[in-house]
């Protein structure tokens, strides 16, 4: 596995100088600060490595899903257990695909900008396509699963704490 620096310029993305490979349209983060430049310094993995790690993205290794992505449990030699997020553009319009790509880019930007004990760590990305990310594996499960185990008062305290942190 090779460590590489990937450079992103959100200003260029907002001005149409780079193209969204999935939809063929310019993408922007929607941020008020489009001049932000950031470097993503992570491991890069081939599609084959990620496919092998997840048994070809087999549903038996599916550990979470959302409207536009699925997260699979995987095992990478030298790293161990990981979570591999795969964005899906199946059956979506070009406009929706561009919107999904922007959201994906926001996630990469935020995870690259914040190092906190309660935020999942971004380990790497796919070197062949940008719609696959590798995260540290969280053994106690997803936030959704953990929150359903708590009573409403504890959930509200967590929400209040998150809101204060964002403020």
- Asked whether the predicted pLDDT for residue 23 surpasses 60, the reply is no
Rounded mean pLDDT of the chain? 75
pLDDT band at 62 (very low <50, low <70, confident <90, very high): very high
Segment 95-108 shows an average pLDDT of 77
Q: How far apart are CA 46 and CA 43, in angstroms?
A: 10
- Asked whether the predicted pLDDT for residue 22 surpasses 60, the reply is no
Residue corresponding to tokens 């553009």? 89
Q: How far apart are CA 163 and CA 167, in angstroms?
A: 6
- Asked whether the predicted pLDDT for residue 3 surpasses 60, the reply is no
Segment 133-149 shows an average pLDDT of 82
pLDDT for residue 18: 37
Phi, psi of 26 (to 5 degrees): -70, 145
Q: Spell out where 106-162 has E strands.
A: 122-126, 132-136
85 is in an annotated binding site: yes
pLDDT band at 130 (very low <50, low <70, confident <90, very high): low
């Amino acid at each position: 596995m090779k460590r590489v620096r990937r450079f992103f310029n959100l200003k260029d993305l907002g001005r149409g100088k780079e193209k969204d490979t999935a939809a063929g349209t310019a993408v922007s983060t929607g941020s008020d600060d489009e001049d932000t430049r950031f470097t993503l310094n992570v491991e890069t993995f081939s599609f084959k490595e990620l496919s092998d790690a997840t048994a070809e993205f087999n549903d038996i290794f599916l550990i979470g899903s959302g409207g536009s992505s699925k997260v699979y449990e995987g095992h990478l030699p030298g790293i161990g257990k990981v979570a591999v997020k795969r964005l899906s553009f199946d059956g979506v319009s070009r406009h929706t695909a561009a919107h999904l790509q922007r959201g994906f880019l926001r996630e990469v930007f935020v995870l690259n900008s914040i190092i906190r004990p309660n935020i999942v760590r971004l380990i790497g990305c796919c070197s062949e396509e940008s719609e696959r990310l590798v995260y540290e594996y969280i053994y106690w499960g997803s936030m959704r699963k953990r929150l359903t185990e708590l009573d409403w008062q504890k959930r509200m305290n967590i929400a209040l704490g998150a809101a204060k942190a964002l403020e």
